[in-house]
Amino acid sequence: MACAGGSAVGSAVCPAQDEDLDGQHRRAARPAPIFVAARYTLPGIIAHESARRGGVRLDIPDFGDAPA
């Protein structure tokens, strides 16, 4: 895998991937913004199911904001 500009993973030019590799090395979980991910992903999943059912309208549930 390469960063922008073709530099190799683990170089000083590619700090985001360095953080990913460091987190994987320590087996640390990165914080996942699950509520944001659901807002972006769920409509596509529901649209796919709607298409499978011949275009039937389906409700997209709203899980609200993340707990504080």
Domain ranges of the chain: 1-30, 31-68
> Which residues touch 46 (CB under 8 Å, ≥6 apart)?
58, 59, 60
pLDDT at 15 over 80: no
pLDDT at 62 over 70: yes
pLDDT at 22 over 80: no
> Which residues touch 44 (CB under 8 Å, ≥6 apart)?
none
Q: Which whole-number Å values give the CA distances from 57 to 7, 60, 61, in the listed order?
A: 47, 10, 13
Q: What is the pTM of this model?
A: 0.50
pLDDT of residue 3: 58
CB neighbour class for 17 (10 Å; exposed up to 12, middle 13-18, buried from 19): middle
